[in-house]
Amino acid sequence: MKTHAPFYSELDSPVGTLLLRGDAEALTGLYMHEQRHLPELPAGCERNDRAFRQAREQLNAYFAGKLQEFELALAGEGSAFQQTVWKALCKIPFGATESYGGLAKRIGNANASRAVGLANGKNPIGIIVPCHRVVGANGSLTGYGGGLERKQWLLEHERRYAER
């Protein structure tokens, strides 16, 4: 149970304004404005840019092509299955993609590609937990809570810097 007051911050980025949420211990959310599944800020949530200094620095470095792996305390809330999927997302290398079916096989349930897709769509910590790296079985861009244009931008950005 969380005992610390929740905070939020906003960060301008190449994919639009990002909303960061968390507390004194961990980042609990990273959302794009106009995103599906964008929760309202909880009561008593205060803006505190300093609380997100590390996250802001790492995101800026990511967008500048200087960071490929985030090192932040994360605490996205979700079911045990969702947590398993989100941990597996973090193992998809920068600049790479994986299909929903491939991700389902990797977590030990080859028949769960639809459930993996649903868990992927509920990821509360976009970009840092790289749900944008999951694509259709044929490599096509499929649903993304932040919009397909943003997903395409993120994938192209990563490919550009992964090749260096």
pLDDT digits (tens), the chain, 164 positions: 444 669 999 999 999 999 999 988 899 999 998 777 778 888 889 999 999 999 999 999 999 999 999 999 999 999 999 999 999 999 999 999 999 999 999 999 999 999 999 999 999 999 999 999 999 888 878 877 778 899 999 999 999 998 76
Where in the chain do CATH 1.10.10.10 domains reside?
A: 80-162
Q: Is 90 a catalytic residue?
A: no
Query: Looking at 7-150, which runs of residues are DSSP E strands?
Result: 7-11, 18-22, 27-32, 46-47, 98-99, 134-135
Where in the chain do CATH 3.30.160 domains reside?
A: 7-63
Choose, from 131, 134, 135, 155, the residue flagged as catalytic: 131
Q: What fold is seen in the domain 7-63? A: Double Stranded RNA Binding Domain (3.30.160)
Cα 152 to Cα 155: distance, rounded to the nearest angstrom: 5
Level-2 CATH architecture, domain 80-162: Orthogonal Bundle (1.10)
User: What are the b/e assignments for 11-27, b being 16+ CB within 10 Å?
Assistant: beeebbebbbbbbeeeb
* Number of CB atoms found within 10 A of residue 133's CB: 22
